[in-house]
Amino acid sequence: NAGVTQTPKFRVLKTGQSMTLLCAQDMNHEYMYWYRQDPGMGLRLIHYSVGEGTTAKGEVPDGYNVSRLKKQNFLLGLESAAPSQTSVYFCASSRTSGRGVEQFFGPGTRLTVL
Amino acid sequence: DAKTTQPTSMDCAEGRAANLPCNHSTISGNEYVYWYRQIHSQGPQYIIHGLKNNETNEMASLIITEDRKSSTLILPHATLRDTAVYYCIVGGATNKLIFGTGTLLAVQP
C-alpha cells in the first residue's frame, strides 16, 4: 500500500494564480484532512471531510476550497494565491471510530507564493 | 477541544529512556490523549493514544494520571532516530486534532 500520497511535492506560484493540491489514500478511510504548517509552528487544520461528498471547515479555512468527489481523493484548491499561503501542506486520512483513531499523514507539499 | 502544555525542548542520552510530559488540565471525559512526532519536515507520525488506562505498543508507553490532567510519553530506549518534535494532542470523536508547537527531543550520542 502507498498509504497517503500528495501531488505535487513542490510548487512556486505568483500572487493571484490558482492551483489544486491532490491527496490520495488507498486505505479505504472515511475521514480525510488538510493541514498547513508554517515555520516553527504546529499543524493547523484547514478543511476536513467525513465521507465522500462531504466537507467541513477547520481552524483556518479562508482562502481555500476543497472537494471530495471520490472516497480516495481529497482536493485542496487555492483560487487566488497570496504570499500568506506560503506553507507546507499536509494531507491525512483516518478510519472512523468512537474509540480514538490514528491519522496517517502524507509527505507534504511545499508551496511558495511570490 | 482541550489545549495542551509541553516543554519546548528536552535532551536525552542515547540508550536511555526519554520521558516527555504533557499537561492537559481541561480535558473532557470523552477526549483521548494522542501523541504524534514529526521528524525534520516529514509528515507527522502517529505514536500512541489513550483514554484513561496506560497504554503500550512497540514504539512507546503512555502513562495517564488518574485525574487525566497530565500524561507522559516514554520512549524506553531512545536512539538518534528518535530526534523529532513530539506533539501531545487531545481530541474527541470528531477526530480533529489541534496541534501545538510540541517538544523538540534531541537524543545525544
Contact by Cβ (8 Å): B46, A95: no
User: What is the tens place of the pLDDT at every residue in B18-65?
Assistant: 999 999 998 988 889 999 999 988 999 999 999 998 999 999 999 999
CB contact under 8 A, A105 and B43: yes
Give contacts of A 9-38 with B, CB under 8 A. 31, 33, 35
Contacts of A101 in chain B (CB under 8 A): 95
CB contact under 8 A, B98 and A48: no
Q: How far is B13 from chain A (nearest CA, A)?
A: 24
Cα A43 to Cα A38, A90, B79, distances in angstroms: 8, 8, 25
Look up residue B51 and give its DSSP letter. S
Would you call B21 an interface residue with chain A, using a CB distance cutoff of 8 Å?
Answer: no
Cα(B28)–Cα(B2) distance, integer angstroms: 7
User: What is the tens place of the pLDDT at every residue in B60-71?
Assistant: 999 999 999 999
DSSP E strand stretches across chain A: 4-7, 10-13, 19-25, 31-37, 43-51, 54-57, 65-67, 73-78, 87-94, 104-105, 109-113
* Averaged confidence pLDDT in chain B: 92
In this predicted structure, the answer to whether residue B2 has a pLDDT above a threshold of 70 is no
Antiparallel, parallel or unpaired: β B103-108 and B9-13: parallel
pLDDT at B28: 87
Tell me which residue in B46, B93, B99 faces A42 most closely, judged by beta carbons. B99
* Averaged confidence pLDDT in chain A: 93
